[in-house]
Homo-oligomer: A and B are copies of this chain.
Amino acid sequence: MRSGIKVFAPASVSNVACGFDLLGFALEQPGDEIIARISDKPGISISKITGAKNKLPFDPRKNTAGVAAQKLLDFLGETGIGIEIELHKKMPIGSGLGSSAASAVAAVVAVNELLKHPLEKRALLPFAAAAEEISSGAIHLDNVAPSLIGGMVLVHKGHHADAFRLPTPKGLHAAVVCPEVEILTKDARQMLHPFIPLEKHIEQSGYLASLIVGLYQSDLALIAKSLQDVIIESQRAPLIPFFYEVKEAAIKHGALGCSISGSGPSIFALCANSHIAGQCSEAMARIYRDAKMEHLLYLSPINQEGAVKC
């Protein structure tokens, strides 16, 4: 078998309380691995999928990794080439951690590497983003961009899919707990009220604005005051068992803020350092352990690299 290129693309926490559809950050773990190699069969083919519990299609036109890879090939005019992809899903699906974004990102980075790096990493964003649209019915740059370039990222569709890396205070860690309840992003989106009170808009965009100030100033107290969601969280919380208990436990144990990751059911807590994040994750997990509910637990600094060849 021909040797391939192996790429890891990380999971990501999107929305980040006040930044619905606009803000996301990458985790160091979990994430997806993709191995891509040249194949004799023209076009993209998916030869192997592991870790997905048969939930992901092998048809490359229906799999975000396949779609992303094909979009990139189309752009590069590489219509004759054959590329075979293995997808090793090492993170839960439908968990609110940007699973499909990680697949799409890993695929475009792997294909770009395989083709001897014709594009800069950042230039791969639109191809991964377009593929994401298939899985969620909307472009989720706030997962795709952090998974690709790492860090805490502000995205904006109005700016032609621009992504802006924001500074993060040293030591910032996330504790993430994911109860075993699947929520489809499409459903979680459709349940949202299409209108919001003007006053809530002012309040929430003020929190987003002051969060960005807090990140630029490394002001942990301001970050903590700003990690609020007065629009989305209360609408989606009913989908997540024990959400408010978990949030309360995180805040009580010193988290700067705690809210739903993406469309859930994962819950993230941002913490000033690894020690506090450890205590928070323990307290958050205990709620599910006591309720005898299956759950996954992740503890991670902000991933500053994004997708990497490995």
- A interface with B by C-beta (< 8 Å): 19-23, 154-159, 162, 164, 166, 192-210, 212-213, 216, 222, 225-226, 228, 231
| Residue of B whose beta carbon sits closest to that of A203 | B158
The 6 A-B pairs with the shortest beta carbon distances in the complex, nearest first, are A205-B205, A156-B206, A195-B195, A201-B201, A21-B202, A212-B212
| Residue of B whose beta carbon sits closest to that of A20 | B202
Q: Are A22 and B202 in contact (CB under 8 A)?
A: yes
Copies held by the complex? 2
Q: Are A196 and B201 in contact (CB under 8 A)?
A: yes
Q: Are A231 and B201 in contact (CB under 8 A)?
A: yes
Given A22-B205, A216-B216, verify A156-B210 contact (CB < 8 Å): yes
Given A156-B207, A208-B208, verify A198-B196 contact (CB < 8 Å): yes
- For A206, list chain B residues within 8 Å (CB): 21-22, 154-159
Q: A156 CB to closest chain B CB, in angstroms?
A: 4
Q: A145 CB to closest chain B CB, in angstroms?
A: 13
- For A164, list chain B residues within 8 Å (CB): 210, 213, 222
Per the bound structure, the CA–CA distance linking A23 and B202 in Å amounts to 11
Q: A65 CB to closest chain B CB, in angstroms?
A: 27
Q: Are A213 and B166 in contact (CB under 8 A)?
A: yes
- For A225, list chain B residues within 8 Å (CB): 158-159
| Residue of B whose beta carbon sits closest to that of A154 | B209
- For A198, list chain B residues within 8 Å (CB): 192-196, 231
Per the bound structure, the CA–CA distance linking A208 and B204 in Å amounts to 11
20 A-B pairs with CB atoms under 8 Å apart are: A20-B201, A22-B206, A22-B209, A154-B213, A156-B206, A157-B203, A157-B206, A158-B225, A159-B210, A159-B225, A162-B210, A194-B198, A196-B196, A198-B231, A201-B205, A201-B231, A205-B208, A208-B208, A209-B212, A212-B212
| Residue of B whose beta carbon sits closest to that of A207 | B158
Further 15 A-B residue pairs, CB within 8 A, beyond A159-B206, A205-B208: A19-B205, A20-B201, A20-B202, A155-B206, A157-B203, A158-B206, A164-B210, A193-B198, A194-B197, A194-B199, A196-B196, A196-B197, A196-B198, A200-B201, A209-B212
Q: Which of A20, A166, A209, A231 has the largest number of chain B CB atoms within 10 A? A: A209
| Residue of B whose beta carbon sits closest to that of A167 | B216
| Residue of B whose beta carbon sits closest to that of A159 | B225
Q: A54 CB to closest chain B CB, in angstroms?
A: 34
Per the bound structure, the CA–CA distance linking A208 and B146 in Å amounts to 20
Q: Which of A193, A197, A206, A210 has the largest number of chain B CB atoms within 10 A? A: A206
Per the bound structure, the CA–CA distance linking A205 and B232 in Å amounts to 14
